[in-house]
Structure 1
Amino acid sequence: MSQPKILLLGPPGAGKGTQSKNIAETYDVDHVTTGDALRANKDMETEHGTPRSFMEAGELVPDPVVNEIVQAALEDADGFVLDGYPRNLSQAEYLDDITDLDLVALLDVDHGELVDRLTGRRVCSECGANYHVEFSPPEEEGVCDECGGELIQRDDDNEETVKERLNVFDENTQPVIDYYDDEGELVRIDGEGTPDEVWADLQAAIEDAV
C-alpha cells in the first residue's frame, strides 16, 4: 500500500495523539503536528519573520508563517498524518492548495465525555507519563508506575478550563469540519469506544480511502 496522506480532526481529549501514533507506525508515515513543526523550524525565514520571533514574544504565530512551516514539513514526507492543523478555514483552504489528502477523518466525541476524559487525566511530575483516574489508573493512587513520581492534574485539565478549551475548538475549528463535510470529504469516526475499537474503525476508513 502507498503511504497515505491523512488529516485527523477532533477536539481536545478525542484521542488524536493515540490514533496518529497508530497511523504513523502502521503505515510508516510522518506524524506532523503544528507544534512539532514550529519547534523544528523555529528559525526558518519567512517573509513574515521566523516562528521564534513570535514564540519568544509570547504571541500566536500568524497563519502565513504556520502555513509555510507546515508546507515545508509535508514536502519532506512521503506520507503523513496531520494533527492540529488546519485550525481555521483559511488554513484549510491553504492546505487544499498544497496537497491532496487521501482521507479527512473526524474523531467524534460528545462534550460530556471529553470533560470526563480531560478532568480525569493525571500526569507524572517527574517523567511526564499520562494516566487517567478511571480509564488508565496507576497501580498505586497518585504514584507513577514508571518512576514513582507524584501524579498531578495539569492546570489546564480543570473543568472550567476544559470547557473553555472545547468552546474555543468549536468556535475556531467547526468551520473546518463543515468545510470538509460540505465537500463530501469528511469521514466521521465514533471516538467514544476503547482506543482499540476506535483504531479498528479508523483503519477500516483508511483502507477504504486508499
Structure 2
Amino acid sequence: MGKHILLLGPPGAGKGTQSKRLAAEFGIEHVTTGDALRANKGMDIGDMDTEYDSPGEYMDAGELVPDKVVNAIVEEALSTADGYVLDGYPRNLDQAEFLSEITDLDAVVYLAVDEEVLVSRLTGRRVCENCGENFHVEFEPPEEPGVCDECGGDLVQRDDDTEETARERLRVYEENTAPVVEHYREAGALTEVDGEAPPDEVFDAVVDAVES
C-alpha cells in the first residue's frame, strides 16, 4: 500500500519540487489540482447542477472551478492511485473536510517560509521567451544573465511574477488556506518543516516526517 502524503505551504514554498521528489522516492503519484483538472477537462458534471457542464468550460472562461467539481476530480485521481502526494489541495476547510471523508492521510507536512523570502522567490523567476525554460535569479541563475542556457533566447519576468501579484497571491493563500494548516495543526496531524533550508535538507526532513 503506497503512502498517502499531503504537502502544504504557501506559493513559493517549494511544494512542487518536493512533491516530485517524494513521488519518485516512494513510488507514488504526484497529484496536483491543476494537473487533475487538465486531465479531466471534459468530465461530465451535468448532474451536479453547476453553471457549466465540464471543468474545462470554467477554465476556458477564466473562472474558479467550484469546490464540488474539484472534489469530484480529486476523488477520481486518488481512487486510481496506489499512494500519492497531494500538492495544492485542499485549498479551504470545506475541501479538507471532504478529503477526510474519502481517504486517510499518513502524513501532513507544512513547508514554513517567511513572507519576504516567498516574495523574493516568487519574483525571481525568469522564463525564456523562446523555449519556455524556467530560471531563477537567485536559486537557478542562467550562466549569462538574461540569456537562456538552453537556446540563447531572452529571459523575461512574467506578469504574474511581479511583486504586486506575488503579495496578492500570498494574501489569497492566507485568507483561504492558512485555516487548513491550523485545522491539521489542531488535530495534531501536522509536521512543520523549515522550508527555508537548502532543498536537500528540506527533502530529508519531509521524508523523516513521512516515515515517522
TM over 0.5: yes
Structure 2 residue aligned with 1:23: 22
**Pairing 1:188–2:192 present:** yes
Q: Within 1, Cα distance between the matches of 2:147 and 2:211?
A: 40
Q: Within 1, Cα distance between the matches of 2:165 and 2:56?
A: 27
Offset of 1:127 from its aligned partner? 2.4
TM-score (norm 2): 0.95
Q: Within 1, Cα distance between the matches of 2:12 and 2:82?
A: 28
List per-residue Cα deviations over 1:14-55 (Å, max 9, x = no partner). 000100010011111111011110110111112233102222
Q: Within 2, Cα distance between the matches of 1:205 and 1:116?
A: 27
SS at match of 1:168: helix
Structure 2 residue aligned with 1:62: 66
Instruction: Please provide the CA RMSD for this pair.
Output: 1.0
Structure 1 residue aligned with 2:137: 133
Amino acid at match of 2:133: A
Structure 2 residue aligned with 1:121: 125
Structure 2 residue aligned with 1:161: 165
> Number of residues paired by the alignment?
207
Which of 186, 189, 208 is matched with 1:204 structurally? 208
Q: Within 2, Cα distance between the matches of 1:52 and 1:162?
A: 26
Q: Within 2, Cα distance between the matches of 1:143 and 1:41?
A: 36
Offset of 1:175 from its aligned partner? 0.9
**Pairing 1:45–2:61 present:** no
TM-score (norm 1): 0.95
Structure 2 residue aligned with 1:91: 95
Offset of 1:58 from its aligned partner? 2.1
Q: Within 2, Cα distance between the matches of 1:163 and 1:203?
A: 30
Amino acid at match of 2:11: P
List per-residue Cα deviations over 1:127-186 (Å, max 9, x = no partner). 222211122211011111122221111111111111111011000001101111111101
Segments of 5+ residues of structure 2 without an aligned counterpart are none
Offset of 1:126 from its aligned partner? 2.3
Q: Within 2, Cα distance between the matches of 1:96 and 1:77?
A: 16
Segments of 5+ residues of structure 1 without an aligned counterpart are none
Offset of 1:203 from its aligned partner? 1.1
SS at match of 1:107: strand
Offset of 1:121 from its aligned partner? 1.3
Higher mean Cα deviation, 198-207 or 101-110? 198-207
**Pairing 1:102–2:106 present:** yes
